[in-house]
Amino acid sequence: MPYDNIIVDFDGTISDSRRDIARAQLWVLERLGAEGFREEDLYPFIGLPLGETFRHILPAGMHDRIDEASGLYSEYYPPRSLLTTTLFPGVRGTLERLHSGGKRIAVASTKRGPGIRRVTDHFGITPLFDRLQGSDGLPFKPDPAIIHVILAAEGWDPEATIMVGDTAMDVMAGKNAGIATVGVTYGAMSEDQIQAAEPDFIIGEFSALVPLVE
């Protein structure tokens, strides 16, 4: 069936920000004396809330420093968030096509709102979105709160709305909100991991979203 409304995750779905995020996390780990990590070791945790990220990657004996790690990251990352970040292939053209075709598009991200806007402004894609919804003051996915906020604020029909993301948390948030879901295989999780979350659809490139929603 066609979907008039599309909710997309951001990091790992729209923007390939892995290197900038991982480098910032490495900087924090080095400051805390936790060494031996590589950038690629940190990729699977991108998209998680900061506290949860550092709970995964800090040794158990350093879990009392999770808040400190999160604070250091929050100071270090924003001014360095666009050094290597790019849009994934096909994202710009697909967003333009969907927007010009009358589809309504919103972002639902664990980033804060200003962080989303910094990236969309940088790439000139802000006008293509109806709403940029960060997790400011909201429970993180897989809690469906962020999706409920978008649906209520925009007056969107859940049956005509689909959630697109690169992690199990994105898929589960969509399921918990009672909307259709799409898992992408080019982000943080492998195809097998995305399949395990049982989204309604799986795509290997963002442009493949077009026939799904039209």
User: Tens of pLDDT along 27-60?
Assistant: 999 999 998 999 999 988 888 889 999 999 999 9
Q: Hunting for tokens 């293509």 — which residue is that?
A: 128
Question: What are the chain's domains?
Answer: 5-16+85-213 (3.40.50.1000), 18-80 (1.10.150)
% of the chain with per-residue pLDDT over 90: 93
| Mean local confidence (pLDDT), 181-185 | 97
What's the average model confidence in pLDDT over 149-169? Answer: 97
Confidence check: pLDDT of 190 > 90: no
Q: Which two tokens stand for residue 97?
A: 């096509």
Residue type for 71, please? Answer: G
What local confidence, expressed as pLDDT, does residue 49 receive?
87
Q: Is the distance from CB of 22 to CB of 57 less than 8 angstroms?
A: no
Query: What rounded mean pLDDT belongs to the chain?
Result: 95
Q: 79: cis peptide before it, omega within 30°?
A: no
C-alpha 94/C-alpha 13 separation (Å) is: 12
Dihedral angle at the C-alpha atoms of 47, 52, 53, 54, nearest 10 degrees? 160
pLDDT tens-digit series, residues 142-158:
999 999 999 999 999 99
In this predicted structure, the answer to whether residue 159 has a pLDDT above a threshold of 80 is: yes
> Which tokens hold the place of 30?
């080095």
Tokens read off for 82: 């666009």
Pair 164, 209: CB distance under 8 Å: yes
pLDDT, one tens digit per residue, over 117-131 is 999 999 999 999 999
Model confidence at 109, pLDDT cuts 50, 70, 90, reads: very high
pTM of the predicted structure, to 2 decimals: 0.93
If you ran DSSP here, which 8-state letter would residue 158 be given?
G
Distance CA 59, CA 25 (A): 14
Question: What confidence score (pLDDT) does residue 44 get?
Answer: 86
pLDDT of 1 above 80: no
Contact residues for 96 (Cβ-Cβ < 8 A; gap 6+): 128
Contact 95, 132 (CB under 8 A): no
Whether the CB-CB separation of 147 and 163 falls below 8 Å is answered with yes
Query: Residue 85: how many CB atoms within 10 A of its CB?
Result: 18
